[in-house]
Amino acid sequence: MSHISFSGKGAWVSRFPETFVECLTETDPKDFLKAAKKWSKTEELRGLYEAADLRELIREIWNLAHQAKAEGKWLLLCTNGA
């Protein structure tokens, strides 16, 4: 992921690689729950989120990836470390 900008207040805007967007848009929605179950067991998320909630997050990102691809735009992620 490449960083687009950083603010002095801890906010980052990063661009997802085109290969990630392509892979995501080619993913079948029936595989979202399987991916979410694996993701929910990672060290960073274990005990914090249920697989069903992560499945919905994956679905939202999948929709955004499709929209970005259709409109010829980047898929961006904004995070705040504060």
Which residues are paired to 2 by β-bridges?
A: 15
Based on the structure, what is the number of domains in the chain?
Answer: 1
* 10-residue mean pLDDT series, the chain (82 residues): 65 90 96 96 94 96 96 91 62
Tokens encoding 67: 């929209």
Residue 79 pLDDT: 85
DSSP 50: -
CA dihedral (70, 73, 79, 80) in degrees, to 10, reads -130
Enclosing domain of residue 17: 2-80
* Cα 37–chain centre separation: 15
